[in-house]
Amino acid sequence: MKKEVTREKFSSFLEWLNPDRDRAGEEYERLRFRLSTFFAQRRCRFAEELTDETINRVILKSSEEQIENKLAYCYGVARNVYRESLRKEREHLNIDEISIAAEVPEEPSFSSECLDQCLDKLTPENRLLLLEYFSEAKLAKIELHRRISESLQTTQTALRMRVMRTKQKLKICVQECMA
């Protein structure tokens, strides 16, 4: 009988990642990033689906067994899922049962309303930061970014990280809004 990932199991999995609820959420996002990067850079056709499959397997296993090194384990499972996906792709190439892989489903077009809503939810400082960061022509960018980092009393690397984190918040918000 195929085991299923239930809401309870998912909650236990988050707790397994980190007993602190907020930190668990962050670690979950980070794990997804690692896995989707792994599959995408391996040029897997359905990187997101393979990421989900890996996480589902880890969720089921973590509820049954003691796993010492979580991330190393996740990497091992990802490699297995990857190898299986390669086998499936080869099977699809059998001429007798040739199947044209479906086009990668297009993401829903970007919702401007959701973006506006989510930009409004950012702090005024972060909203201004993003709009300033992407505002000027490329030749002025170096000067602009220097000016921003100076006004925020931060280094350019720290500025890039702050822009990345703010965009990440925005992304999650927009995805939730569109769901």
Partner 1 sequence: MGPSLTSEKTIREYLLGQVSDETTLESIEERLFADEDFCSQVALAEDGLINDYVLGRLDEIDAERFRATLSTNPDRRFRLELTQALREKALARPAATAARPSFFSSLASFFRQPMYAGAFAVLLIAAAIAVVYFSSKNNQDQLVELRSIYREARPTETRISEFDYAPLTQLRGAPNPAAQGRLRRIENNLIDANEKNSNAQTHHALGVFHLTQQEYPEAISELEIASKLDASNAKFHNDLGSAYYELAKTSPPKRVQALDHALDEFTRATELDANLLEALFNRSLTLEGLGSRREAKESWARYLQKDGSSPWASEARKHLAGLEKEQTLFKKDEVVLRDFMAAYRDQDKARALKIHNETKGLLTTVMVPWQLSQRYLTARTGGNQTEARESLAAMVFIGDFERTQNSEFFFLS
Phi, psi of 106 (to 5 degrees): -70, 135
Residue 122 binding partner 1, by CB under 8 A: no
Structure tokens that stand for 125 in this block:
């400082």
What is the full DSSP assignment across 97-147? G--PPPPPPPPPPP-HHHHHHHHHHS-HHHHHHHHHHTTS-GGGHHHHHHH
Residue 40 binding partner 1, by CB under 8 A: yes
Give 20 or 33: the residue with its C-beta nearer to partner 1.
Answer: 33
Residue 131 binding partner 1, by CB under 8 A: yes
Candidates 6, 11, 123, 175: give the one binding partner 1 (CB under 8 A): 175
To partner 1, the closest distance from the beta carbon of 178 in angstroms equals 10
Q: Which stretch binds partner 1 (CB under 8 A): 11-19, 56-64, 87-95, 166-174?
A: 166-174
Is residue 145 within 8 A of residue 133, CB to CB? The reply is yes
Give 11 or 56: the residue with its C-beta nearer to partner 1.
Answer: 56
Q: What gap in Å lies between CA 178 and CA 115, rounded to an integer?
A: 10
Q: What gap in Å lies between CA 44 and CA 35, rounded to an integer?
A: 11
Residue 155 binding partner 1, by CB under 8 A: yes
Give 3 or 92: the residue with its C-beta nearer to partner 1.
Answer: 92
Q: What gap in Å lies between CA 178 and CA 41, rounded to an integer?
A: 27
Site string for partner 1, 78-117 (x = CB under 8 A): --------------------------x--x--x-x--x--
Structure tokens that stand for 60 in this block:
């089921």
Candidates 3, 23, 45, 92: give the one binding partner 1 (CB under 8 A): 45
Question: Looking only at residues 12 through 31 of this chain, which bind partner 1 when binding is defined by CB under 8 A?
Answer: 30
Residue 44 binding partner 1, by CB under 8 A: yes
* Residues whose CB is less than 8 angstroms from the CB of residue 111 and which lie 6 or more positions away in sequence, other chains included: 174, 177, 178
